[in-house]
Amino acid sequence: MNHVNDRDNHQSEPEEMDTREDDVQTQNEGIITDSGGEEKYLNGDLQDQNMSVQEEATGEDDSRSEATFRYVVHNLSKLKDTTLSLPTFVRNLPWKIMVMPRTNQGQDRMSTKSLGFFLQCNGDSDSSSWSCNASAELRLLTQKEGAEPFLRKIQHLFFSKENDWGFSHFMAWNDVLDPDKGYIKDDSIILEVHVVADAPHGVSWDSKKHTGFVGLKNQGATCYMNSLLQTLFFTNKLRKAVYLMPTESDDSSKSVALALQRVFFELQFNDKPVGTKKLTKSFGWETLDSFMQHDVQELSRVLLDNMESKMKGTCVEGTIPRLFEGKMISFIRCKHVEYASSRTEPFYDIQLNIKGKKNIHESFKDYVEVETLDGENKYDAGQFGLQEAEKGVTFASFPPVLHLHLMRFQYDPITDSNIKINDRFEFPEKLSLDKFLQKSEDVPAHYTLHAVLVHSGDNHGGHYVVFINPKGDGKWCKFDDDVVSRCSKLEAIDHNFGGHEDDITVKHCTNAYMLVYIRDSAMADVLVPVNEKDIPEQLVERLQEEKRQEALRRKERTEAHLYMTVNVLLEDNFNGHQGNDLFDVEKVNMRTIKVKKAATFREFLEILSENMRFPVEQIRPWPFNFRTNQTCRPALLDIESEINKPIIDLADNSNPWNIFLETVDPDSGVQALPHFEKDTDVLLFFKLYDPKTKRISYCGHYYMPITAKVQELIPLLNERAGFPPDTDLILFEEIKPNNVERIEDYDVSIEKVLEELMDGDIIVFQKDDPELDNFELPTCKDYFRDLFYRVEVTFCDKSVPNDPGFIMELSQRMTYDMMARTVAQRLGTDPDLLQFFKAQSYREGPGNALRCTYEGTVKDLLVYFKPRQPKKIYYQQLSIRINELENKKQFKCIWVNGKLKEEELVLYPNKNGVVSDLLEEAKKVVELSENGSGKLRLLEVVSYKIFSIQREDVQLECLNSSCTKTYRIEEIPKDELQVSEDESLIPIAHFHKEIFTTFGVPFLLKIKHGEPFSKVRDKIQKRLDVTDKEFEKYKFAVIVMGRAQYIDDPDYIVDIANFMPHAGQGGMQPRPWLGLEHINKAPKRSRYNYLEKPIKIHN
């Protein structure tokens, strides 16, 4: 640190302030051993008179904001190592004086010894998350009467890696030991520190205990919003109205009103900092919005507007205008005629210019200063024409709550960016605005300062805090996100004027940017106490219930590692499944049960019984196991031998664990499930295939003795299918995907017929119909083979941004023609009027177009997609047939009609065509003027200037558009069809100030050699269809080789030679053009960056 308070008795040079990072050898925390070996306390008793300059209202010394404490260092001449004083507590953190001898090598390579003097904060803490901002005076007290102490100031953010701050070379060692200077006496010196600290972050600071209030958590960059929310919260009348907004039927995740009620309620009754994530979520903000700093004034207006609209039609309608709305009168008075106009407008806040202003009164004077309209700026007074006039505003009334925004962020034309103005700007605690009213009101416009919103940093970011005077009685608190602390009036007001270049204890870039004043006459009403009885009972119940549910969810999250998820499937879940195995895990609706991992199987059965409402003897769980052949089937669980095992062991640590729960049919009257003999029985599942509908129906399960013959299944299957008992059936075993084998011999036992017989095997059956060959998929084997190649494809319209598309199930073996017919049928169009595009492999969006002669299959189109990734194909509907399109070239251009209105055009001329072919295509789609020439031309336009007229024999493949170059088609005006030798077609373009800032629609105009330029002006005005008043402001210039030659002479005569091409470098011949200089009134394209993104509350 280069800033030093020099005293007369100080001779040494200024020294750099730094952080002690060498090893600190502390001797018993401020104890040193003297030469006799006796321990002696170096830190003298803290002097009572110096304990604290400001006693906190709570009387708790440890939480005070400032303190002065001393450290007496004995035997200084023998001091070798770093030593520390005993701790003094400020803001609940221990502060110590750190002192040591330091040796430094100067420029002359001579070693100089100095006294190192530091202030240490929270040095013994192992935490890395704490921080505390503080300023301090480090003093070496003199022991000579009448002499001044030597002092230096520091300002620092203390945290774990920089927990001490001060001076390595506070004073030269010889100067300290010099008795004449008076700092040492009896080989002892007295060091003193006066420290002023903000409330710390990241440690257990109890805001509620110290102030009675709590803060708001910062989501990332929401400190600006937190400041505003605290300000609105302490506008008690508004808080009361917010509570009374009816939100009983509101969606808790989308209602801004309910979210605001929640934040206010928690600020009022919580003991810990309050979160705002639900509020920003109700705004419709994505997470990223919470990491962007926005403009507080904009947020204030948007939030108040949103609340005002939500209050309409309720018992609190009009609360916001009654609190915040004032009225101003905008007027214009003509100086020389009796003509004036005025308009009364409401305002919710006032923006005050502070640049070059000392205080609020000067800013208000500037605000109401009258502006004179004269010269080119004269006022159009209707029948009186253009008149000199005075323009200004005055105030008709001021509101009870006055929001003043200090314009510290302003545009700087030199840097072409916003900058922050850190100049000093004073604002009083008491403010009188009577003299700014048009006429005095019944009650004086006297105001008391209620809140000061403060920004630290520059235009690109920083930190926001707010100082609030909650009861309007001069007792201030600082709200710094989640930390709230009491503070002095000096800290709240004077320290935030800005412009503190000379005072190191106040940051130069820290200053007020918004002020809230409350009218003295409305103080009692605005700050009316808000008690729990003022909050609707149903709102309190709803918010408390939310908290209870959140507490339960938190408990669940903390205990989640102790539980596992069991997904229970019943036979009903298998109905309707059309694929392999018994269910599709992505589509099935399973019942979920949370079970403790340590629970035994017996306990698990009881939980199942309770949840499913079946007695234990009427249920039997069958866990789903993944087999080696890629199938998932129920398997046996030996209840008797596994009954006392932990459930997590039975599940082989699977989480979630899927089980099929077999239950007794409630309508059967049976009291218990039949016995299953694990050694001689097998659990089989049955499916019925119908080739007519190409659908599968689930037909239940059955315990079958493994020695039973297949023939014994036939009556059971006919019964399950509802067929006559003697119906002939064909049976298949579903082995794995695309592997279904027919069972040929029905007289053999099941264990010999089924491959590797296991519980959970599936038999698929169908009628033995002689007409099977007439069906598309005659057997279930054909069905499952087709299923194996089936895939869900999402078709997205290429011309619709972010089109979600529609999903179709296709066979991967489909050809291009089959796919085109299927999609065309879905869209209700002709397959030949569709063009398809592959998806890009590296990012979202369409890739190359597919030719209609594409010989691959759907599988080939989806080769780059991962297994579970949604598979997309893009399409566009055409106006011409795809085979014609593929022989044509797509050409994008602009059509400009006779009134110079632009319209995008997409044409399809032949690939090998020329410009004349393109113009013929254009004639088919554009609307020509009634009495026009009927002939078209193609212009090349570069940066809003006409570069050339394309010859009709130019090949289209030679024409390429770019970001600055476009092609434009227009009808040739009749008078331009023939151009004689003394005439010329000249390009005309619009520009503003600089000739390279062209804009608008350029055009061609025929001029004649020797004609007056006034005639050309008239033709231009007619072509542009501009009023006389507007056209008066146009300036004209001939642009040659990048230089503008303005036409100022009213009698200027046209010389065609001025518009002939000029020989340039490299043989180029740039064509001169006529420039029209005027203001671009078209809306500008948005070029703001994310920091300037407008604030929107979407709900």
Q: Which residues are catalytic?
A: 223, 463
Distance from C-alpha of 926 to C-alpha of 8, rounded to nearest angstrom: 91
Distance from C-alpha of 689 to C-alpha of 631, rounded to nearest angstrom: 19
Instruction: Please count the CA atoms within 13 angstroms of the CA of 311 that sit on its side-chain side.
Output: 23
Distance from C-alpha of 521 to C-alpha of 433, rounded to nearest angstrom: 13
What is the Cα gyration radius of the chain?
43
Distance from C-alpha of 223 to C-alpha of 218, rounded to nearest angstrom: 6
State both tokens at 1015: 């005639």
- Residues 232-236: contacts with CB within 8 Å, 24+ apart? 232/303, 233/263, 233/264, 233/267, 233/268, 234/450, 234/451, 234/468, 234/470, 234/527, 235/323, 235/401, 235/516, 235/526, 236/526, 236/527, 236/528, 236/529, 236/530
| Cβ density class 179-188: b for 16+ within 10 Å, e for less | eebbbbeeee
DSSP letter for each residue of 864-920 = TS-TTSPEEEEEEE-SS-HHHHTTB--EEEEEE-TT--EEEEEE--BTT-BHHHHHH
Q: Determine how β-strand 461-468 pairs with β-strand 446-458.
A: antiparallel
DSSP code, position 1084 = P
Distance from C-alpha of 601 to C-alpha of 608, rounded to nearest angstrom: 10
Q: Cα–Cα–Cα angle for 340, 344, 345, nearest 5°?
A: 135
Burial of 1082 (0-12, 13-18, 19+ CB in 10 A): exposed
Among candidates 936, 930, 955, which has minimal Cα distance to 894?
A: 936
Distance from C-alpha of 332 to C-alpha of 712, rounded to nearest angstrom: 104
Distance from C-alpha of 491 to C-alpha of 53, rounded to nearest angstrom: 14
E strand or H helix at 1001, and its extent? Answer: strand 994-1008
Q: How far is CA 269 from CA 211, 215, 218, 272, 537, in A?
A: 13, 12, 19, 9, 15
Q: Determine how β-strand 563-569 pairs with β-strand 510-519.
A: unpaired
Under a CB-based contact definition with an 8 Å cutoff, are residues 193 and 50 in contact? no
Distance from C-alpha of 375 to C-alpha of 920, rounded to nearest angstrom: 54
Sign for the pseudo-dihedral over CA of 61, 65, 70, 76 = positive
Distance from C-alpha of 321 to C-alpha of 435, rounded to nearest angstrom: 23
Distance from C-alpha of 626 to C-alpha of 634, rounded to nearest angstrom: 9
Which residues are CB-contacts of 1091 (< 8 A; sequence separation ≥ 6)? 292, 293, 460
Residue whose tokens read 């049928």: 825
Distance from C-alpha of 1015 to C-alpha of 921, rounded to nearest angstrom: 37
State both tokens at 21: 């990072």
Sign for the pseudo-dihedral over CA of 278, 284, 288, 294 = negative
Backbone angles phi, psi at 666, to 5 degrees: -60, -25
Residue type, 379: Y
| Cβ density class 901-933: b for 16+ within 10 Å, e for less | eeeebebbbeeebbbebbbebbeeebeeeeeee
Burial of 95 (0-12, 13-18, 19+ CB in 10 A): buried
State both tokens at 87: 């701790």
